[in-house]
Amino acid sequence: DAGAGVLHIVKNYTGDVLNFQMAAELAADDGVRVEAVVVNDDVAVENSTWTAGRRGTGATVFVEKIVGAAAERGADLATAVALGREVNERSRSFGVALSACTVPAAGKPGFELAEDEIELGVGIHGEPGRARGQLVSAREIAGIALDAINDDMPLSGQVLVMVNGLGGTPLIELYVVYAAVAQWLSGHGVSIARSLVGNYITSLEMAGCSITVCQLTPQLTELWDAPVETPALRWGR
């Protein structure tokens, strides 16, 4: 805390939310003002073993980048909170896995998939999704994800798209998925203004990807384009 307060950006998992709430209470005892943005962009599962409500996934990257740019320009805490919530509200995600990951404490995969199966709607902690199906093409996978996103938040205008690898998928395959996403969006009259392809929020060695779409405004685009230099994102400097 540098005197202006602290903003917690929290993925909507019950343990995460509880821990950040306790941290905020401890900070308040020291006179530090804390606000929170809870990210809940996943359209695949409304409730799960780990959450009350939707899970927080890929939109976290968008919230952190855009709010960080505003804060660097001198935005106060209230403005940062409002901006983070706006980005969250304008973003949706859907994940697909071709294999499960093994959480070290569990010592075994979170679920079992045959070589010709995919898990639809997976989370980022190795939890299973909402349905299981036969392995299909990247074009069909993109269609499943974007249909779910579009049903929840009708897409239009200019968007920011992220195809995020879950940890065990080669970059070239992520670009194949991105091409399918671009084709779907173009066919539905939606323009990709900005994009990210790579491993940004991973699940250990899980093979698969998540697709995140944010409906942009001029302000959000400007803040996204602002110079950044972090281990994950770097441009404009």
At residue 113 the predicted structure's pLDDT band, cuts being 50, 70 and 90, is confident
| pTM of this structure | 0.92
Say which amino acid occupies 12: N
Q: What pLDDT does 1 receive? A: 64
Q: Domain ranges in the chain?
A: 6-89, 93-235
CA torsion through residues 116, 121, 124, 127, sign: negative
Region 109-116: mean pLDDT is 79
Write the CB contacts of 24 (distance below 8 Å, at least 6 apart in sequence): 8, 34, 36
Judge whether residue 94 has pLDDT over 60: yes
Please tell me which residue, 182 or 202, carries the higher pLDDT value.
Answer: 182
How far apart, in whole angstroms, are the C-alpha atoms of residue 61 and residue 168?
19
Q: Answer whether residue 135 shows pLDDT above 90.
A: no
Q: What is the pLDDT of residues 39-55, one digit of tens each?
A: 999 998 776 555 578 89
Checking if the pLDDT of 9 tops 70, the result is: yes
Give the pLDDT score at 48.
Answer: 58
Structure tokens at 149: 């996103």
Residue in this structure with the two tokens 């899970």, named with its chain if needed: 55
C-alpha neighbours within 13 Å on the C-beta side of residue 221: 12
For the question of residue 188 being annotated catalytic, the response is: no
Higher-confidence residue of 125 and 213: namely: 213
* Alpha helices by DSSP H, 90-170: 138-152
Report the interhelical angle of 59-72 vs 218-225 (nearest 10°).
80
Mean pLDDT of 204-213: 91
Percentage with pLDDT > 90 across the chain: 72
One-letter amino acid at 109 equals: P
Annotated catalytic residue within 66, 99, 125, 185: 125
CATH H superfamily, domain 93-235: Dihydroxyacetone kinase; domain 2 (3.30.1180.20)
**One CATH from 3.30.2130.10, 3.40.720.10, 2.60.40.1180, 3.40.50.10440 for 6-89:** 3.40.50.10440
β-bridge partners, 79: none
Give the pLDDT mean for 188-202. Answer: 97
| E strand or H helix that includes residue 191 | strand 191-198
Could you give the CA distance from residue 144 to residue 15 in angstroms, rounded to a whole number? 29
Number of H helices, E strands in the chain: 6, 10
Least trusted range by pLDDT, from 12-21, 128-137, 223-232: 128-137
Q: At what angle do helices 138-152 and 171-187 cross, to 10 degrees?
A: 50
For the cut 70, the answer to whether the pLDDT of residue 107 exceeds it is: yes
Taking residues 139-160, what's their average pLDDT?
97
Return the C-alpha torsion angle 33, 37, 38, 41, nearest 10. -170
Closest CA to 131 of 97, 165, 180, 164: 97
CA proximity to 45, closest of 5, 2, 94, 81: 94
Q: Stretch 88-116: mean pLDDT, rounded?
A: 85
72 band by pLDDT with thresholds 50, 70 and 90:
very high
pLDDT at res. 179: 98
pLDDT greater than 70 at residue 237: yes
pLDDT confidence tier of residue 122, bands split at 50, 70 and 90: confident
What tokens were used for 189? 């009259």
